[in-house]
Amino acid sequence: MAFTPDQLETTKQRFQNAGQEHVFKFFDELDLHEQEALFDQLNAIDVERLNIIYEKAVQGAEAAGTIASLEPLGSAMESMLNASPEKIREWETLGYGAIAHGQVAVILMAGGQGTRLGSSAPKGCYNINLPSEKPLFQLQAERILRAQEIARQYRKPGHSDSCVIPWYIMTSGPTHGPTYEFFKANNFFGLKEENVTFFEQGTLPCLTMEGKIILEDKGRVAIAPDGNGGIYAAVQNKGVIASLKQRGILYTHCYCVDNCLARVADPAFIGYSISKGTDCGVKVVRKEQPEEPVGVVSIKNGNYGVVEYSEITKELTERRNEDGSLTFGAANIANHFFSTAFLERVPSFAAELEYHIAKKKIKYVDLTTGEQISPKSNSGMKLECFVFDVFPYAHAFSALEVDRKEDFSPLKNAPGTGVDCPETSRRDIVAQHVRFIEAAGGKVVGPHSDNFELLQFEVSPWVSYAGEGLADIVRGKTITAPAVIETREDLIRFTQ
């Protein structure tokens, strides 16, 4: 955008007053197009707020690990692992009822790229080598389709509007365009385009360790996404809150794209949260071992929050309850329930939210020579807000413990790593689908039936969301792999 001399002077003065005037160091060397691009970028930065965020982040880093008191969640948490079938059915009925009445939406945090996986594409596009070769986005879309179909049974026939779970997908700068194009090329995986909304999370300038804005090159500031906690500002600034209210949405389920087992719009979790009057809730799984490096949802210094593995003493990490379970064992899996009223309330306390420092290797321009440097060690910081930073501000917080093997298998690491990698994601989905058949009274046989990393067997979420709708066909019968079951017709055909 073209700018006037007065506009340029005003912006320069604003950055000078904030001690960040060095961003104009090479301005006069740029051509007009480059000057306009840098001016637009700088004009969009709230530099005074940035300085405040930096100071708070530094103070927070210095105070990290200072825990006056730490308590387990206690009555704020219930568990799917020991809840009765009747109680679980009650939660599911409440959840499906809310979906049926158009009160539930899903927010997906999908800003990450598959860099560690050897791909520059959005992580949701990644193919974990399932027999069907479906990417993560498709698995999640089909779970929404199935949840919508089941929920229709919770309303009388003939209702004028169809059962819809709107899907709001938070992207980042590098993934926004490719994500939309991927959905469009795949016909939105059977969902209606008007019910899938893409919005970008915010960004913040990268800073030196002294809090100075980093110039990536002479005409551009280095920026980075503001962390998954940036979702709260993004839903406000990108019109998502307005859309939720316009649609009459009361509750949202929010999760990360890299969890291949995520039960999207999970009716049991939604129903549980509604039954507790929750405005901000979280799913957790049991820590497998005391030394597992995960954050733990707990009561930290009198407030609900997540205490990082590095903050807990060895004694607290290893403390156990009478039944042998870890006292501090509620592992955070970034899977959340929010009321729309809570999301709408976040701006009232947003200024109090913590920002966290992530030290990184960031390209920068040497302000003396003008040369771009690609550092071999950490040269600066990215400032991030985490999605769980809002927990202390909940009026009614609750947690639901779920079974790890049914709900959580993250995709974090490169192929062949052996932990949280494509092979373990594939294994965990195939194993779950075999359990669905076995729980329904059937059996899966064939080559590699005892090795889920190789077994060629899969049940589309469109056929069964969580094991339902199978028993009448598979009970007492056998399915022989290879078998990819995409429809109920396939289920009948493969069952003998």
Assign 288 a pLDDT band (cuts: 50, 70, 90).
confident
pLDDT in tens, 229-260: 899 999 999 999 999 999 999 999 999 999 99
Residue 67 confidence (pLDDT) above 80: no
Chain CA centroid to CA 3, Å? 39
Euclidean distance between CA atoms 298 and 330, whole angstroms: 7
Mean residue pLDDT across the chain? 94
Euclidean distance between CA atoms 136 and 36, whole angstroms: 39
pLDDT confidence of residue 64 = 65
pLDDT confidence of residue 161 = 65
Residue 60 confidence (pLDDT) above 90: no
pLDDT in tens, 351-379: 888 889 999 999 999 999 999 999 999 99
Assign 65 a pLDDT band (cuts: 50, 70, 90).
low
Q: What is the DSSP string of 306-337?
A: EE-GGGS-HHHHH-B-TTS-BTT-EEEEEEEE
Peptide bond into 482 cis (omega under 30): yes
Q: What is the DSSP string of 210-248?
A: TSPBPEEETTEE-EEE--GGGHHHHHHHTTHHHHHHHHT
Euclidean distance between CA atoms 117 and 126, whole angstroms: 9
Percentage of the chain beyond pLDDT 90 is 86
Assign 119 a pLDDT band (cuts: 50, 70, 90).
confident
Euclidean distance between CA atoms 183 and 122, whole angstroms: 11
Higher pLDDT, 452 or 119: 452
Residue 62 confidence (pLDDT) above 60: yes
Residue 337 confidence (pLDDT) above 60: yes
Residue 296 confidence (pLDDT) above 90: yes
pLDDT in tens, 481-493: 999 999 999 999 9
pLDDT confidence of residue 160 = 54
pLDDT confidence of residue 156 = 84
Q: What residues are paired with 372 via a beta bridge?
A: 365
Average of pLDDT values for 451-460?
A: 97
pLDDT confidence of residue 251 = 98
Contact yes or no for 458/132 (Cβ under 8 A):
yes
Average of pLDDT values for 408-434?
A: 96
Assign 101 a pLDDT band (cuts: 50, 70, 90).
very high
pLDDT confidence of residue 352 = 87
pLDDT in tens, 208-226: 999 999 999 999 999 988 8
Euclidean distance between CA atoms 37 and 370, whole angstroms: 18
Q: How many CA atoms lie within 13 A of 338 on its CB side?
A: 27
pLDDT confidence of residue 116 = 82
Residue 63 confidence (pLDDT) above 80: no
pLDDT confidence of residue 170 = 97
Assign 114 a pLDDT band (cuts: 50, 70, 90).
confident
pLDDT confidence of residue 78 = 97
pLDDT confidence of residue 367 = 94
